Structure 1
Amino acid sequence: MPTETCILTTKDLTILEVMRERCLGRDDPLAPILKRKIESALVVFRDDVRVNVATLSSRVAFRVDGREPDTRILSHDRMNGSAGLFLPITTPRGLALLGLAEGEDFFLTDHEGREERVVLEKVHYQPEAARREREALSSSSAPAQRKPSLKLVRGALYNEPRLVPAGSDDFDDPGPSAA
């Protein structure tokens, strides 16, 4: 098997380590995948992860054995939402995609010995990259946060006295109904 490298954020690695501790033993289908991911991990801070790497909560496009591509959001566990929107990392395919860079593949072997190839095609959204982008926008627009200076120009009628019509009895209090 070729040398694998899995790029994980510190948060993603911590989640995988907890998952490995909770495995049901050697019969758990995720145990060998978790072992491969953790042992081949290149751990980076969330600010240092490349934008083309699949992290938790990333929206990714992938192929399985060359079939039509599928797009999903990598989630921690099964999510309540639209069917087919999320791919939990508690499934072999979801776990296989975590930490891959665009164009990389991961080979899974099922309990009958059949192998399938999962290829990460594209990372459409990565929360770490989006966070960095938001911070860059807010820091670059910080000087523009000043209040705009406007000069109020009043019309010619501003200083004229306002005429208030008086009733027929010269009593101009409109009463509670005007409130």
Structure 2
Amino acid sequence: MLQPAKLPPITITTGDRERLAPIASAFVGRSPDIGLTLVDELDRARIVDPSGVPPGVVTMNSSVEFHFDRNDGDRRIVTLVYPGEQDIAEGRISVHTPVGIALLGLSEGQSIEWVAQPGKLKRLTVTKVIHQPEAAARKHGEGAVEPRAQAGY
């Protein structure tokens, strides 16, 4: 569970919210901690049009560099994906994981804490958003980005 008193502001696109809301609701029955945490994150997020999301925000299908604060700067690079699209060997992490939920909507330089196991506090910091689909679309003049077809969950 994310730590409410220490939650940084997050930004989520309208398309990501529309696609994630039913996924989060479905997971409430299967994995209550994960499902409810994702629901809470969607509820507290600032929702923006994909064309207006700042390029340093972690959106779905963004590639991001981050580090766990207790790992002496051990940086990791992952792409945040929908359930069913994850592949740890390929660096694709599902939003249906504690780390995936923690990354969603964070901006470069922001940190977030959560309890990974009873009494074990985790903290990660976003170092850099390497690729954000919305920023790439703007750069290529494509305008708003539609979410990819749902892969199932």
> What range describes the TM-score normalised by the shorter chain of this pair?
0.7 to 0.9
2:6/2:113 contact within 8 Å kept? no
Q: After TM superposition, list the pairs within 5 Å mapping 1:14-25 onto structure 2.
A: 14-25=18-29
- Aligned match of 1:97: 103
The Cα shift of 1:39 comes to: 2.6
2:13 aligned partner: 9
Q: Which has the larger share of strand? A: 2
User: Rg bigger for which structure?
Assistant: 1
- Are 2:51 and 2:138, in contact at CA under 8 Å, matched by a contact in 1? yes
**Deviation of residue 79 (structure 1)?**
2.8
Contact 1:4/1:40, CA 8 A, preserved across alignment = no
Using a 3 Å threshold, how does the CA distance of structure 1 residues 25 and 4 change in structure 2: closer, same or farther?
Answer: farther
TM-score (norm 2): 0.78
- List 4+ stretches of structure 1 deviating above 4 A: none
Question: What aligned pairs does 1:1-179 form with structure 2 within 5 A after superposition?
Answer: 1-2=5-6, 4-25=8-29, 28-67=32-71, 68-79=74-85, 83-135=89-141
CA RMSD of aligned residues (A): 2.2
Structure 2: which 5+ runs fail to align?
143-153
What runs of 5+ residues in structure 1 fail to find an aligned partner? 137-179
Q: Is the 8 A contact 1:29 1:92 kept in 2?
A: no
Separation in structure 2 between the aligned mates of residue 3 and residue 120 of structure 1, nearest angstrom: 14
Q: Secondary structure at the match of 2:128?
A: strand
Report the AA paired with residue 79 of structure 2: I
1:84-131 CA distance string (max 9 Å, x none): 420111111011101000011121212423110021110000000000
Higher relative contact order (CA 8 A, sep 6+): 2
Q: Is the 8 A contact 2:6 2:112 kept in 1?
A: no
Structure with the higher fraction of residues in helix conformation: 2
Cα deviation digits, residues 2-53 of structure 1 (max 9, x gap): 3531100001112331122112449623134214312321000000000000
**Contact 2:56–2:128 under 8 Å retained in 1:** yes
When normalised by structure 1's length, the TM-score is 0.68
